[in-house]
Amino acid sequence: MRYDTVDSEQFRSIRRNPVAPTADVNFNQTNPFAYMQLDFKPASWVKLTGGFRYDHFYYDIEDNFRGLEVSPNDYFLSPRGGISVSPVKGLSFFANYGQGFRPPSAITELGLDPNLEAAQNETIELGVQYDSADGVWHFLFDAYKTTFTNELQGQPAPLPPIALGPSERNGFDVEARVRVWKDQGRALALFGNFSALEGELVNRPTGTSIPDVAGFFGTYGFDLTMPLPASNSPHVIKLSGMQRWSGPKPLNTTRSLSTKTYSRIDLRLAYTNANWRGFSTFLNMIIYPDRRYEETAFTFGNAVGVSPKAPFTIQGGVFIPL
C-alpha cells in the first residue's frame, strides 16, 4: 500500500519571480498493489520467469484553480515473462515480455477528465550477456520494441498535455566493462555504453516523430577503488567519472524544432570506513562542457524555451549509520 498527499502550486515567472498562478491542485492518492513472480529451472542452463503486478489508484482531487472536485479511480494489471538460456558458463541469451502503464496526472489531466484511463505499454526484448568467470569482462547487447497507447506532449501551464495517440519505439543497447587493474582490494575498471532509438507515432504519416525522445545516448567512464594506506585498510576511497552524450531530440512531431547534441560530465569521490559500521562521505560534481541549454527545452508555439543548467554543480553529504 502506498499513500501520497500533495499540495501543488505553479506560477508563471519572470527571472524566477512569480507573476501569475497557473495551477493550484491538492490531491490524495491511495495505491494498493499486489505482486507475484515465479522462477522455474527445468534444467541447469534454462530459467523461466513469469509474474504480474496489480495496481489500483484512488484519487481525491481538489482543483482550486479551476474550481473542480473529483474522486476518480483506475486500475491496471501488468503481466511479465521471460526466458534465459546459458549454453556455457558466463554466456546467456535472454528474451523478455512485459506490460506496464502510466497513470494519468492528478494535476494536469484527471481534474479535466475524471474518466481518463491509464496509458498502457508493451515491450518485447531480446539480448545476449557475457560475464567472465574471473570478473574481468562484462558485455551486454539487447534489442527491443515498445508500443504505447497514448503519447503526451506537454504545453505551457495551465494548458493540459496534448494526446498524440499510439506510438512505437525500436532501439538497442550495447554495453561493455573491463577491469584493467587489480591488486587485492584495489581495482580500476573502464566502461562504455551506447543506446540508439527510433520512435514514431503510428497511424500517422511516415516520419511523424515522438517529441522529447533523444535519438541516442553514449557514455564512457571509469571506476577506481583504493583502500589506503594498505590494500587491506578499512579506509576506502572510491573515485568514478563519466561523460554522457545525448543526441538531438525533436520538440514537435514534424522535427522542425529540435535540440542539439550535448554532453555532461559526472564525477564522484567517496570515502568509507568499514570499522565505523559503514560510515561514508561523498562529493559529487556535474559539469556541462558545452550546450548546457539543450538538456531541458520545450516549445511555446513556434518558439523554443529552455531551462539552462548551471555550468557546474557540487553536492556533498555524509552517511552516519545508527
- pTM exceeding 0.75: yes
Please enumerate, as own/partner, the contacts of 146-152 that have beta carbons within 8 Å and a separation of 24 or more. 146/121, 146/122, 146/170, 147/121, 147/122, 147/202, 148/119, 148/120, 148/121, 149/119, 149/120, 149/121, 150/119, 151/201, 151/210, 151/211, 152/119
Least confident of 129-143, 205-219, 240-254: 205-219
Identify the bridge partners of residue 134 per DSSP, sorted by sequence position: none
Does the bond joining 311 to the residue before it have cis omega, within 30 degrees of 0? no
Residue 200 phi/psi, 5° resolution? -145, 155
Give the domain range for residue 269.
132-319
Least confident of 69-83, 164-178, 232-246, 271-285: 271-285
Is residue 19's pLDDT more than 80? yes
Within 8 A by CB and 6+ apart from 242, the residues are 191, 219, 220, 221, 222, 265, 266
Q: Which 8-state DSSP code applies to residue 209?
A: B
- Whether 88 is covered by a domain: the verdict is no
- Whether 168 is covered by a domain: the verdict is yes
Cell of 314: 557540487
Q: Round the average pLDDT of the chain to a whole number and report it.
A: 92
- Whether 110 is covered by a domain: the verdict is no
* Percent of the chain surpassing pLDDT 70: 98
Number of domains within the chain:
1
- Whether 76 is covered by a domain: the verdict is no
What's residue 157's pLDDT? 66
Q: Model confidence at 97, in pLDDT bands (50, 70, 90)?
A: very high
- Whether 139 is covered by a domain: the verdict is yes
Q: How many angstroms separate the CA atoms of 26 and 64, rounded?
A: 8
- For 105, how many CA atoms within 13 A lie in the half-sphere containing its CB? 14
- Give the residue among 61, 69, 71, 68 at the shortest CA–CA distance from 27: 61
SS (H, E, C) 263-292: EEEEEEEEEEEHHHCCEEEEEEEEEEEECC
- Whether 174 is covered by a domain: the verdict is yes
Give per-residue pLDDT as tens, 59-82. 999 999 888 899 999 899 999 999
Buried b (16+ CB within 10 A) or exposed e, 72-110: bebebebebebebebeeeeebebebebbbbebbebbbbb
169 and 146 in contact (C-beta within 8 Å)? yes
Q: How many angstroms separate the CA atoms of 293 and 41, rounded?
A: 50
Is residue 279's pLDDT more than 90? no
Measure Cα distances from 225 to 31, 148, 233, 237 in Å.
41, 42, 12, 6
Give per-residue pLDDT as tens, 102-134. 988 888 888 778 888 889 999 999 999 999 999
Counts for the chain of helices (H) and strands (E), in that order: 0, 18
Cell of 21: 498562478
What's residue 305's pLDDT? 83
Q: How many angstroms separate the CA atoms of 105 and 10, rounded?
A: 15
Measure Cα distances from 218 to 162, 193, 195, 289 in Å.
30, 6, 6, 16
- Whether 44 is covered by a domain: the verdict is no
Question: Domain with 227 in it: what CATH number?
Answer: 2.40.128
- Whether 75 is covered by a domain: the verdict is no
